[in-house]
Amino acid sequence: MNRNGQEEIVTFENVSYRYDLRSEQYALSDVTFSVKRGEWLTVLGANGSGKSTLARLMVGLANPESGSILVDGQSFDQSSRSNLLGKIGIVFQNPDNQFIGTTVQDDVAFSLENLNLPYEEMKIRVEKALKLVGMYELREKDPSQLSGGQKQRVAIAGVLALEPEIMIFDEAFIMLDPKSRKQLLYDLKLIQQQYRLTVISITHDHFETTLADRLLVLSEGKIKDQGDLRDVFMRNKGITPPFSEQFRRKLKQRGIQVPDRYMTNDELVEWLCK
């Protein structure tokens, strides 16, 4: 438990990792942070900052050279691996790489086959997951005929059907057009809040930060900053903030008296309407 009484579901403690042990270059160096159960954490950083390495370590695709990683209080080892992997779902950048089924519903069902679930339970889970992402009406469709946004929704449904406690999005929305990306992210925020999912969104897209509860900034394999969005954006003028903060700063530059703090879109609209 952290000092606020909220349970920590993911903890990195002094984690370092190199892809090549002969090299002095670390992909991650002495990284320490935690993720609270039920929160949305956005990991922000440029290419090469260590974001995707973080995801690989979190799902057990790689082991840290030093330090420790705990998921729901357990470390990845042979005795806990299968149990922990059932708690985590990950969605990658290109949904085409994740398609196997000949129809949308078959593809979502495929993710459940290794769980040896009864057919009726699989059917219920597939229907529920597709309805959550708004793809149930296209359940008989060939995945190859879907748009980019629809494909990513199906990929997300495949993970949701597993009923994980933690969902990781590794640059999962970068290939979508702005409108599709915005709508999908808003839908995911509603799902996250409804089911109290822990979401870790790894990105360099600053729009995604608007949905986060907290922000972790990586640079060259090290944590540059972490904390509440308001604090991180106020401390780091070099990080491109969401539109609301950019607008607030522009108003201030023009000599208009504005609140001297970060504001969300809703807070900015409320202030403008006063």
User: For 2-51, how does the pLDDT look when each residue is reduced to its tens digit (9 = 90+)?
Assistant: 444 568 999 999 999 999 988 899 999 999 999 999 999 999 988 889 99
Q: Is 2 contained in some domain?
A: no
Residue 1 has a pLDDT of 45
Residue 249 to residue 247: CA distance in whole angstroms:
5
Residues 49 and 94 in one domain: yes
Residues 176 and 247 in one domain: no
Residue 174 in 3-state DSSP? Answer: coil
Residue 2 has a pLDDT of 46
Task: Calculate what percentage of the chain has a pLDDT beyond 70.
Answer: 96
pLDDT band for position 78 (cuts 50, 70, 90)? low
Residues 75 and 90 in one domain: yes
Residues 252 and 117 in one domain: no
Residue 30 has a pLDDT of 96
Q: Which helix (H) or strand (E) holds 149?
A: helix 148-160
Q: Is 246 contained in some domain?
A: yes
- Greater pLDDT, 51 or 115: 51
Residues 199 and 213 in one domain: yes
Residue 250 in 3-state DSSP? Answer: helix
Residue 68 to residue 267: CA distance in whole angstroms:
39
Q: Is 218 contained in some domain?
A: yes
Residues 247 and 201 in one domain: no
Q: Could you tell me the two tokens for 156?
A: 């997300």
Which amino acid does the sequence have at 237?
A: K
Handedness of CA 198, 204, 208, 212 (dihedral sign): positive
Which amino acid does the sequence have at 50?
A: G
Residues 247 and 179 in one domain: no
Mean pLDDT of the chain: 87
Residue 29 to residue 23: CA distance in whole angstroms:
13
Residue 1 in 3-state DSSP? Answer: coil
pLDDT band for position 79 (cuts 50, 70, 90)? low
The packing angle between helices 148-160 and 119-132, to 10°, is 140
Q: Which domain holds residue 256?
A: 242-273
- Greater pLDDT, 85 or 40: 40
Residue 262 has pLDDT above 80, yes or no: no
| Residue 2: HSE in the Cβ half-sphere, 13 Å Cα cutoff | 12
Q: How far is CA 238 from the centre of its chain?
A: 23
Q: Which helix (H) or strand (E) holds 5?
A: none
Residue 196 has a pLDDT of 92
CATH number at residue 215: 3.40.50.300
Residue 181 has a pLDDT of 84
Residues 25 and 64 in one domain: yes
pLDDT (average), residues 122-138? 94
Residues 246 and 116 in one domain: no
pLDDT band for position 226 (cuts 50, 70, 90)? very high
Sheet holding 28-36, edge to edge: 28-36, 8-17, 66-71
Residue 6 has a pLDDT of 66
User: For 161-214, how does the pLDDT look when each residue is reduced to its tens digit (9 = 90+)?
Assistant: 999 999 999 988 887 888 888 888 889 999 999 989 999 999 887 778 888 999
Angle formed at CA 214 by CA 210 and CA 220, multiple of 5 degrees = 100
- Greater pLDDT, 77 or 9: 9
Residues 206 and 264 in one domain: no
Residue 46 to residue 210: CA distance in whole angstroms:
18
Residue 199 in 3-state DSSP? Answer: strand
Residue 124 has a pLDDT of 96
Q: Is 50 contained in some domain?
A: yes
